[in-house]
Structure formats: C-alpha cells, structure tokens
Structure 1
C-alpha cells in the first residue's frame, strides 16, 4: 500500500507558496534557536552587550539564506525567485511584528532597503539550493 504525499507539486514550475511559507517558518525557527544560544552566551559569559545589533543582523541573514535554500531545494526551479520571495516574507513578517510590539516603530525609507536586502539574500540562498 502506497502512502500519498499531502502536497504534490506536479509541475515544479514557477512560484510555490506552500514551500515559501514553510521555508519562512523554518527561517524563523532557526532565528529562535540562534537567539536562544546568543542569550545563553550573554548570560553565562562576559560578552559585551554592544555586539547584539551585529549578531541580530547575522542571525537574520543566515536565517534568510537557509529559508531560500530550503525553498529552492524543494521547488527545483526558479530558485532565485522562490528564495527571494521567502526572504521578503521573512522581512515583512518581521516588520508586522515590530509594528505591533515596538511602541516607537514607524514605517520609513530604510524598510525598503531591508526588503531589497531580504530578497537578495533569499535569492542567493535559492541559487545555492537549486544548484546543490
């Protein structure tokens, strides 16, 4: 008796939002793990708290690359596009959460730069994911 997969992408062409959403969730899971490890490192060692902004950016970039890689690995085509969209989703969700949880958050021009950077980093992860 063969078990059927819950989701079958028959064409493997174009944009696949199922894998993009799943990749974005995996990216956030990786971010959570990394932030827990960094928090433990800050608590148990004498690391300066001044490095936190740099670590946050590195964790975001790594998470977006992994999300783009995962999406492209599962879609097998247009990895740069699928990975880039996953990167944009990651940043959009981050912006929405910031809007609700940070009282002094405002929509400004640097957010467009973050969206573009999210697309580029996700596209790089997608290119790597398709070619490996």
Structure 2
C-alpha cells in the first residue's frame, strides 16, 4: 500500500504537474511568438493533456508495482479533483458538461496508462 500511494502521489501527480507547467509555458510561447490560431493551440492542449495524464498514470503504476488500474485511476481522479477545486475557488464557476467529458477523458487516459505501466518490464540490477 505504501508503494501504491508513493507512486500515485509522488511520481504520478508530481510528474503530471511538472509536465503541465512545462507544456503551458511552451503553449504560451507559441501563442506569443507565432501566428498559430487559438483553435490549433486548443487542440494541441487537448492532446498534450491526455498524453500527460496517460504518462502520469503509467509512471504511478510502474513505481507502485501493483494494481495498475487503481494507481492510474487514483492519479487521474486526484488530478481532476484538484482542477475542479481550483476552478471553483479561483474562477467561482461550477463545472460544465463539456468539461466533465474532458475530465472523464483525462481520468480514462490515466487509468489506461496505469494498466500499461504496471506491465512494463522491470530493470533488475545484477550483483
């Protein structure tokens, strides 16, 4: 259980937040210094969000070493819950139906990433 929580909270959520911040900076630079349309950047953000959540779920399950579906699902749910909480607190808005479908896709991506991550081969050290 300790490995599961450490994988989810430490590696999964941590890597998601770091990658989201980095990609937000990249998108901001693209928006500022290129002639890209807002719609194109919006699609890039969608693809990046799903990919980053899948990677976070995969890393959480790999480090947790058990129950990949649970590790990935917990990682996705914790991240999405934080996003909803920030939206309610800082924007003073409830979640809309299109956002719920987006959040569901993020949780699903992390869940599937967890199932893949727990089955990745382990690197063993020979002594």
RMSD over aligned Cα, in angstroms? 2.1
Q: Which has the higher helix share?
A: 2
Structure 2 match to 1:38: 27
CA contact (8 A) 1:91 1:114 kept: no
1:47 is matched with which residue: 36, 59, 72? 36
Secondary structure of residue in 2 paired with 1:131 = coil
Correspondence for 2:90: 101
Shift of 1:39: 1.1
Structure 2 residue corresponding to 1:130, chosen from 112, 118, 124 = 118
**Structure 1 unmatched runs, 5+:** 1-7
In structure 1, distance between residues paired with 2:100 and 2:39: 26
Question: Corresponding residue for 1:4?
Answer: none
Q: CA shift at 1:17, angstroms?
A: 2.2
| Structure 2 gap segments, 5+ residues each | 121-127
Q: In structure 2, what is the equivalent of residue 61 of structure 1?
A: 50
Please identify runs of 4+ aligned residues in structure 1 that moved more than 3 A: 107-116
